[in-house]
Chain A
Amino acid sequence: MSGKTKAKRPGPGMRRRNLRRNTLPALAQAGPVSVWMIVFVTLPTLFIIYISFMSRGVFGDVVYEFSLESYQTLLDATYFKVILKSLRVAVFTTMACLVIGYPFAYYIARKPREQASRLIMLIMIPFWTNSLMRLNSWLLLFQTSGPVNNFLQWAGLTDSPITFIYTDGLVALGMVTNMLPFAVLPLYSTIEKLEKSLLEASSDLGASPAKTFMRITLPLTFPGIFSAIILTFIPALGIYTVSDILGGGKVLYIGNIIKNQFGQIRNWPLGAALSVLLLAITALLIFIYTRFAKLEDMEVV
C-alpha cells in the first residue's frame, strides 16, 4: 500500500522518464546476460533440484511424485565415504597444482614478454588434443608392457612389471596434469603484474629474499592464488573422465557416481540429489573462502 503511494508522488511523467533513463538501459545491459543465465544456468539447476525430490520408476524413469528417498540414500555411509575421498583428491590436486604451478608461473613471469608467451603456449599445446586422448596416452605409457615398465626392467630397477595403471596414483597424476594450466594461467597473470620496484624496495630495506616473498610477493599475488584454487578445485571435485579411464572403473569419485546414476544405474533422482550435494559443498567452500578473501579480488584470465 505504502509503496503504491510513494511511487505516485513523483508523478507519471517522472516515472516514465525514470523508466527511460534508468530501467531500460540497465535492462538492456544486463538483459542479454540475464536471459542467457536464466535459460542455461538457473532453469537447468532448478530442474535438477526438482528432479532430486522425485521418485524413481522401476524401469529407470523419473516418477513425478514427491519423495525424500534420494536424500535418505545419501545419508548412507558409503556415499559419505565417496564424498570424503573425492574431497581429499580434489584438495590434493589443488595443492599439487599450486605447488607446481606457482614456481612455474613465477619463472615464466620473470622472462621477457616474448619468451613468456612462448612458454605459455607450451602449456596450451597439449590442450589442443582431446583430454580423453591424453588420458589414454598415459595408459599406453604406463601399461604393463608399456615403455615405462620396459625401461624400468631394462635398467634393472625392477624384476617384474609394476602395475601402474588403474591405481589411485595414476589417477592423481592424470588429475594434476589435466588441471595444471587452470592454475598456471591466473597465477601468471597476477605475478606478471607485480611491480618490480616493490621487491627492490623490500630488499633495499633489508628484507631477505625469503621475507620479501612471504611479506610482499605472496600477499600481492593472492588474488591469482585464489582464482587458481577455485579453478582447479571445482572441476577436480566433479570430473569423472580421469578416474573412469585411468582408474579402470575401480576408482570411483562422486563424479563417477553421478554419471552412473544417469547412465547405467538409471536412478536420476539420486543422481540429481548427488549433484545438489556437490553444488552445496562447492557453494559452502566458496562461502568459507570469501570470509578470508574478497570475491572482487578473484582474478580470472
Chain B
Amino acid sequence: MKKTLALALSLLLVLALAACGGGDSSSGAPASTPAAADSTAEPASTGDDDTPASSELNIYMWQQYISDSLIADFEAANNCKINLSYMSDNADAITKLTAGGGQDYDLIMTCDAYMESLVAGGYVQEIDFSAIPNASNINEAYWTAKEYCVPYLMNYIYIVYNSETCPVEITGYNDLIDPALKGQITTIDGARNLFPIALIALGYDPNSTEESEIAEAYEWLVKFNENVVSYGSTEQNLTNGTASVALTYDGNVSWAMAELGENNTLKIADFKEDAVQLGFDLYVIPTGAKHIDLAEKFLNYICDPEVMAKNLEEYPYSCPNDAAVAAASESYQNDPARDFAYKENVFFQEDVGEALTIYNDYYQKLKVGG
C-alpha cells in the first residue's frame, strides 16, 4: 500500500517536473515570438495610421485623483479599456520608471522634482505635442521639462488651522514649533515635504544640499515632531478635531472645508514672508510604452477645458490649465481653500542629486526619534 502510494507520488513528481521543464522549453519559443512581433508592430503603430488603434491604456497614478466618469467617457469615446493602477508614494512611480515602466504602463504620474533625473536617465519619452493641441491651455509658468510631460494638477502645501481651537496665530513656519501646539499638528509625510519648511524657517534654501544646513533643519524638525499628533490623514484629523493645525495640500483643505460646511472654522495661515511649496503632478510616457497613440489621445482629452473643469469639481485641486479654471464652476473658483494672498510666493522641489541620501538619513532619524 505504502509502496504504491510512494510510486504514485513519484510518478506525479516526475510528471510535474516534466510539465515544468516542458512548459519552459515550449513556452519559451512562442512567448518570444509574440514579443518580437509586438516590438516590430509597435513602431509601425505609432508612426503609421494604417495599423489598428490600441484598445488598451495602462496608467499608473495616485489614487483618488481622477474622476471615474472622465475615465468612463474616454473609454466609451475611444472604444478602449483603461487600466488604472495606483501608487502609494512618489517613490513607487520612480521605481516603476527606472525599472522599465514602458513594459507595463503607457502613462505614469510623477512630479516636477524628479523630471530632471528622469530625462537625464532616459526613462521618459519625448511627447509629440502635435497630437495634443489642447496642451496650449496649460500655463507655461507651471511647466518644467516641457518636451517630456503634461502637467495634470498642482498642489500648494500650506498651513491651515482651526481659528477656534488653535492656541496661537500662525504667520510663519516658526510658529509651528511653539510648545503651545504640542500634539496639535497633523501633517503630510515625506522627507522632501518636511525638510524644506524647516530650511525656510531657518533662512536657508529649501533645496539645500549642504549637510550642515540639513542637520540644522533636522534639529528644527525634532521640535516640530513634538507637536505633531499624526503624519497623514490630515483631512480627517482636521474635521474630527484631533488636530487644530495642518500642513497639507490645498485640495485636501478644500474637502475638509466642504465637509465642515457651515461650521467651517478652518483658516488658511496668513503667511508674511515664508514661501510655500508648489508641486505639480504630471504625466510622462515611459520609454518603451506600447500604446502611445492612445496615451496621446488621453493627454489631449484631459487638457480639454470642459473635461478638466468637470474633473476639478470632483477633485478641487489647483490646476495649471488656465482655460479649465476659467470654465470651472463657481464653487471651484470661489473655493475658500484657494483664497490666500501669497500664491506667487512659492518654491519648487528641485532635484538635490546625491544629497537625497542625506535627507533620507536625517528623515529616518527624525521618524525613529533618535
Contact = CB atoms under 8 A, between A and B. Distances in A.
A182 interface: no
Interface stretch (B58-66, B204-212, B226-234): B226-234
A260 B13 contact: no
B6 A58 contact: no
Contacts of A145: 240-241
B145 interface: no
A58 B241 contact: no
Interface in A183-226: none
Interface string B170-188: 0000000000000100100
Contacts of A32: 12-13, 16
Contact of B240 (A27, A144, A250): A144
B40 interface: no
Contact of B231 (A24, A79, A248, A263): A248
B360 A266 contact: yes
Contacts of A31: 13
A25 B10 contact: yes
Which of A31, A144, A265 gathers the greatest number of chain B CB atoms within 10 Å? Answer: A265
A165 interface: yes
Classify the secondary structure of A's interface with B: loop
A265 B364 contact: yes
A249 B233 CA distance: 10
Contacts, number: 110
Nearest to A79: B368
A166 B229 contact: yes
B91 interface: yes
A257 B368 CA distance: 8
B91 A264 contact: yes
Interface in A23-41: 24-25, 27-29, 31-32
A264 B366 CA distance: 14
A143 B240 contact: yes
A59 interface: yes
B92 to A, nearest CB: 7
A77 to B, nearest CB: 7
A78 B88 contact: no
Given A60-B94, A144-B242, A249-B232, A163 B183 contact: yes
7 contacts: A24-B10, A25-B3, A58-B353, A76-B370, A252-B369, A263-B92, A264-B190
